[in-house]
Structure 1
Amino acid sequence: MSVVQKPLGTPFGPFTTAEEVARDVDLSGKIAIVTGGASNLGRETVRILSTRGAHVVVPARDVDAARQALAGIAGAEVVSLDLLDPASILGFAERFLAEHESLDLLILSAGVMATPLVRDAEEHEGQFATNHLGHFRLTAALWPALHSANGARVVVLSSRGHQLGGFDLDDLDFVRRPYDKWLAYGQAKTANVLFAVALDARGREHRVRAFSVHPGTIVGPLARHLSSEEIDMFGVLNDDGTPIIDPARDLKTPEQGAATTVWCATAPVLDGIGSAYCEDCDIASVETEGRFGVRPFAIDPDVAEALWSESVRLTGTDLPTRR
């Protein structure tokens, strides 16, 4: 298994918006699912895909709030789903498969960051369970529809948070280690990148390609578990409390933050390519230090396979083998 991780030199960059990326894209007749699609980056992704003709299904725990947030976006459908509840994931997938033969775009945008220690019903650490295991279960359950699309793409929202490290395949749930919310976040974001690598290895022969994305730094609901002092330490707010917008420093608007996701989901230049970690609407370079690029450990194919095997063990699910 090889990972394509070399910049293409696209005409886009950190200032590019999702609207600009999708200007010449026609998604008429396409079906998309966007988890986390009712707020911030996810909502902008839903809006752009819808304006380009796609029918977008938005899973949400709070269906009423999601419908209110997405009011006015034609082509967006809200369906109940809780990523921490395996039965809810299966029920969502069964309903989708009963109504749709294929799934063209699966965008895994939902996530949490730097939360206090929370465990799901199976005692898995909450950030790992939400950001990775829930999406792992969902992708496996939707595999028949991805396979049937004959050219599907899966986009997994990671971040530069993967550079925090903390990935420990022998203690993913922080049972033996003291819990550290930032190490747990870094581990979950690393898992997102590794998941895309392993999924792409399985999907490429079926024309299902996977990518992971750093969208940029966007102040929003993801920071809800941080104190005002913690947010101040990041230097992302003006004196009046509004977000600083400086894409050259990776501080972006939601419209700019959604651009790389939409690019990975729709760019023709990515036909025949997969498994890449992307930022600023291009494939990122591999870097061992600094703020930019992807760390080598996050795209290691052997580690990706090991995480896949462990995810199968933890969830009791895998891609169907009957096709």
Structure 2
Amino acid sequence: METVSNTALRRQQPLLSGFGPQSTAEEVLEGRDLSGKTVIITGGYSGLGLETTRVLAEAGASVIVPVRTPKKAAEALAGLPNVTAASMDLLDPGSIDAFAEGFMADGRPLDLLILSAGIMATPLVRDVRGYESQFAVNHLGHFQLTARLWPALRQAVSARVVVVSSRGHRISGIDFADPNFEQREYEKWAAYGQSKTANILFAAELDKRGKEYGVRAFSLHPGSILTDLSRHLSEDELRAMGALDETGKPIPASRTAGRLKTVQQGAATSVWCAVSELLADKGGVYCEDADVAGVASPESRQSPGVEPYAVDPDNARQLWTLSEDMVGVKFEF
């Protein structure tokens, strides 16, 4: 009899979507009218999140962007139609609750929640609860936000949650015994990989629990893009990644033989997961290049695809329980 884990892996089959690594967010959204749809995009005023905000808003969606730095957000979002901003900090549980309460007070359904905010390879920082910051921002804050917004997602009848992960999930699974690096030495890339694996597992378990309420969830790797996400990396690290030339200047994506994407290309998979009709009955899958990704080859961390541990149902259930305990919030199913 086939195991549940094998079933999860079998679902990771590309759909031949017609798009690919060079597709842009505008191209995958072409011809779609999102008038009447309400969208929340974390990180929606910088990098990939800003491009996602722009194309969805210009397609008619009403977009709400949670912001940690209002001045920066106001400058970035200026001139975009159908966009509003509200204060929120993913490292501050109280601000997450306040943002969600403000949205819920309007009684609106939430059609689309895109969890795009994140930090990468940071020095060791802990939030007010003592939780390691990459796990706290990239996963726990988004888990809490989604739980608080759950009634609005259910109200939409047919909603989607899109979680931006990374190929960086291949660096590390989750250390369930020590997610906050209290017993082991902190390593910034292991912490990042753990948080990105958590993104994928969260989407898988959320989809499993939410589909009977009409809520489907997806995770994705947007591609490698030089954005503000890399602000904690050294020049040597960026050069080793092929993002800088020998003089320290950024190399245009067009000259990297496909190693890097433009912001427009990087936002494509988020938008595709948000709107593609091909995904109508495909919730819980991990996507790349505006298509469902296959299973990763064990030969290289840089190869496409998803690690089996990141879609393992037992890991997903264990993470869900751990996350509820850590944030003190449960979903109201």
| Range of TM-score over shorter length | over 0.9
| 1:145 corresponds to | 152
Alignment of 1:48-197 (within 5 A): 48-197=55-204
Which residue number corresponds to residue 301 of structure 1?
A: 313
CA displacement 1:57-106 (0-9 Å, x = unmatched): 00011122201111011111110001111110111001001124200010
Structure 2 residue 287 is matched with structure 1 residue 275: no
Identity of aligned residues (%): 54
Query: Quick one: distance in 1 between partners of 2:196 and 2:50?
Result: 20
Q: Distance in 2 between matches of 1:65 and 1:107?
A: 20
- Give the Cα–Cα distance (whole angstroms) in 2 for the partners of residues 52 and 179 of structure 1: 43
Deviates more, 1:39-48 or 1:237-246: 237-246
> 1:245 aligns to what?
253
**What TM-score results when the alignment is normalised by the length of structure 1?**
0.97
Q: For residues 7-46 of structure 1, what are the structure 2 equivalents within 5 Å?
A: 7-46=14-53
Distance of aligned partners of 1:265 and 1:248 in 2 relative to their CA distance in 1, 3 Å threshold: farther
Q: Distance in 1 between matches of 2:54 and 2:23?
A: 16
Q: CA RMSD in A?
A: 1.3
Q: Which residue of 2 aligns with 1:208?
A: 215
Which deviations, in whole Å up to 9, do the C-alpha atoms of 1:241-266 show, x marking residues without a partner?
12331576341000000000000000
In structure 2, distance between residues paired with 1:124 and 1:223: 22
**CA–CA distance in 2 between the matches of 1:237 and 1:214?**
21
Structure 1's unaligned 5+ residue stretches are: none
Q: Is the 8 A contact 2:46 2:76 kept in 1?
A: yes
Q: Structure 1 residue 319 and structure 2 residue 292: aligned?
A: no
1:217-232 map, 5 Å: 217-232=224-239
Q: Deviations over 1:165-224 (max 9, x none)?
A: 152111100011100000000000000000001100111001100000100000010010
Aligned to 1:287: 296
Structure 2: where are the runs of 5+ without partners?
A: none
Deviation, 1:239, is: 4.7
Partner SS state of residue 249, structure 1: coil
Cα displacement (A) at 1:153: 0.4
Letter in 2 for 1:92: F
Residue 229 of structure 1, CA deviation = 1.3
- The structure 1 segments of at least 4 consecutive aligned residues displaced by more than 2 Å after TM superposition are 1-4, 237-240, 246-250
- Would you say how many aligned residue pairs link Structure 1 and Structure 2? 321
Query: What is the one-letter code of the residue matched to 1:281?
Result: A
Cα distance in 2 between the residues matched to 1:248 and 1:37: 28
Structure 1 match to 2:322: 310
Range 289-298 or range 244-253, more displaced? 244-253
Distance 1:20 1:100 in 2: 33
Contact 1:59 1:79 in 2 (8 A): yes
Return the letter of the residue paired with 1:95.
Answer: G
